[in-house]
Structure 1
């Protein structure tokens, strides 16, 4: 069961319970059984699932609840809380500081995506102002240094390794010393992996760790390893001081529950998840927004962070003003398409919005979706200012449509399709009219408001979706490659 299906199964179980006329023990049991089945199929360790079910039953004692209590809301909040607890290590990981040299050592089995993840981690921090460097201490896998060298060169990150030296400890020590002298403040050491857990792997890890004295050891885990996740993570934790976990290949093609069991095994937080092969397909992991997105409830703070990354500060109040006014023109649609293309993978961006899941935006369709947006933008490039700035769709008569099609080199039916999508989006945009947006681009209050609506249970979620419009309508624009 892929991660999106897991979220969909839990959401459906909660929805079915919410639709029940009376919430009694039978309805609660059916709901919990469905959630348990979904988690076990997703390879979450069976004991963790049983503990979660027991805890929810303790929280939700229907006999003790007074008549005035909202039983649906209490059950939904309990499920949300327990899923968060399952993923929460209860303590933060070490955080590197700019200007002060930190050594971070990566460990994991071969094939987990460790070397690629090292580069992603370095690239992420480089964009944030750190001066990272990569050290290849993997002398076991043929081609490991070549891979790291290629990745680092592409990301313009300094690297160190050797084709001649076979001792990983010496390479690690030499690399760390070199980059400390060069005033790098984030030195990342990539260690050897194996196809399976074995004494030689753990001994080598211990030696590299003792020699380099890392500030943080990150365990990299492939999300598809299944029920072996718990035992594997525990074995690494017993050999080296694992302080954080990065879960790779969370791109909709693999089971995710098993890897999430690593939190319980290592008592260390997941700090990032890899969502694809590209350098920018790497997300900071935050428990509550992740669970919220897993259940199709969205992540407003993450979405607004994305907006802040691509919308200049001086333009943010203008964008929020347009949202609150509810007047949607073709020019606004064009501008928003530009921002969406800058935000990164479309499925990643839209998974942050309430009601959107990877089931509505299948992984692997991003190129088609982006191509469609670009086609629409080409058509809009052939429009006049009057056409772009009008919020009246009736202005687009037959002669205008034919002129736009000729100018863009597209067929009339494609222009008609684009205008239909504009009408659909305009309808959704109008639902946001009157929303109170904070001034000066501060979205924390809006995020709290949206999160409060999400935690209001399915009723609150349905109200939010009514406010936002139909998810399927909005996603229809991106869902096929016509």
Structure 2
């Protein structure tokens, strides 16, 4: 994701500092300089960088006086809090409600993904049970009417626009009035994309705002914009009362520091982030979770929420069999189908502590591999899926038939068998370590009732490289602790 490289650089600076035997003034200064360098290279405005450095220094000084904590921990927490403060101005955003008519106006730069974000916003609240509608008040850009109308049709959202009226103020006013009569809960008005130099478009934006009196004005910005976006965001804020921010294109490989700068300039909370072109690639923004993912610390809460949204039951027959150390190709098939419900592999890996650095490599390729496995499993008979002796079962002629039936190659079928064997080994190890007791009471791993021995057994079941990415035994126990706190 955008800002992942920045997170990795800051994470590397923190890791370098944690390896030092003594952490004194010079070490703190070196850490702050490395963080500042990483932020500036990522296009974060210099004033924000200075503000962040001051915030870290102040928190470290105050915490050191108050508690005798480990200085490395104090620094790590101070860096986390300083970045979170930039992204969280402490202002509660406007939230549309059912049976309460509200109007939300979208503004932003040209090419920021504003029109697509309007549709995603409408679809998100429609899924929450609100009656939503879209108004096209963008008469400046050719194709804006058609784009929003097509998006609205795909998302099954009511659309209002005019191909004969040239005045966006009239369209916005009449559209809002008509949709209010039709008892819509949320009316979203899309306006023309702007540049700082186009003063006429800024005046038009102000006129639209005065005509429709919106409950909230959402500023849409792209995470790929450079340092100039700080000034652009300030210009929007000066003209209209921007209440919320949506950051788009967070799936791109760009520097992304402009996103931090724009939030600081508007002093308005980020409400959503766009992570792709599809309607569902739209996530509620949580500052703590975002910073944790950015710094490679993972986001177990979002992972659990994602599992719940996908209706994956951890107490199902499949996962009970896992705990007992039983695993067939049919189990693998069901498990892969559950994984694909969660979204892209890269997005899931960002939520796991220590795995964010590998999410870019795993992204689309990882998802494609999982889908190819499902196609091959689809080509197998029931007897093949339920047979416990897969290595013996998979003869050359059988693999040839599966490859032909699924449209894959024989080496791909062989890769499936190898992957199954590795997964089966892990499941068997889990079955031997009384994992049922650990999952029934995950907090016991922390309190010593199950003890270090079973934690070591769990560590052995994992690939050594994966265990290292998780932060070793300490990282594994930390993740188990987070899971136990959410289960209680």
TM-score by length of 2: 0.82
User: Secondary structure in 1 aligned to 2:149?
Assistant: helix
- Could you say which residue in structure 1 is the equivalent of 2:166? 166
Q: Kindly state the Cα deviation for residue 402 of structure 1 after the two structures are TM-superposed.
A: 3.1
For 1:159 and 1:250, how far apart are their aligned partners in 2?
Answer: 27
Correspondence for 2:396 among 377, 402, 406: 402
> Which segment is superposed worse, 66-75 or 51-60?
66-75
Give the deviation of 1:199 after TM superposition. 2.1
Q: In 2, Cα distance between the equivalents of 1:371 and 1:190?
A: 35
How far apart are 1:435 and its partner, in Å? 7.6
The aligned runs of 1:309-324 (5 Å cut-off) are 309-311=309-311, 315-318=313-316, 321=320
Shift of 1:90: 0.2
Partner of 1:333: 332
Q: How does 1:12-411 map to 2 (within 5 A)?
A: 12-61=12-61, 69-311=69-311, 315-318=313-316, 321=320, 329-357=328-356, 359-362=358-361, 366=364, 368-381=365-378, 388=385, 395-402=389-396, 404-409=398-403, 410-411=408-409
Distance 1:459 1:142 in 2: 48
Change (3 A) 1:17 1:459: farther
Q: Which has the higher contact order (CA 8 A, sep 6+)?
A: 1
Query: What RMSD, in angstroms, separates the aligned Cα atoms of the two structures?
Result: 3.1
Q: Is the 8 A contact 1:320 1:437 kept in 2?
A: no
CA contact (8 A) 2:11 2:296 kept: yes
Any idea what SS the aligned residue of 2:374 has? helix
User: Residues 68 and 90 of structure 1: is their aligned pair in 2 closer, same or farther, counting only changes over 3 Å?
Assistant: closer
Conserved 8 A contact 2:349-2:359: no
Displacement of 1:117 in angstroms is: 0.8
Q: Which moved more, 1:102-111 or 1:424-433?
A: 424-433
Please report how far the alpha carbon of residue 66 of structure 1 lies from its aligned counterpart in structure 2 after TM superposition: 10
Q: How far apart are residue 22 of structure 1 and its match?
A: 2.5
3-state SS, counterpart of residue 145 of structure 1: helix
The 8 Å contact of residues 111 and 195 in structure 1, kept in 2 or not, is answered as no
Q: SS of 1:245's equivalent? A: strand
Give the unaligned 5+ runs of structure 2. Answer: 442-467, 480-488
Stretches of structure 1 lacking an aligned partner (at least 5 in a row)? 440-457, 470-482
Question: Alpha-carbon deviation of 1:324?
Answer: 5.6
Tell me the TM-score normalised to structure 1 length. 0.83
User: Do 2:8 and 2:357's aligned partners in 1 also have CA atoms closer than 8 Å?
Assistant: no
Using a 3 Å threshold, how does the CA distance of structure 1 residues 300 and 406 change in structure 2: closer, same or farther?
A: same
Answering whether residue 448 of structure 2 is matched by residue 463 of structure 1, we say no
SS in 2 for 1:196: coil
Residue 143 (structure 1) shift: 1.4
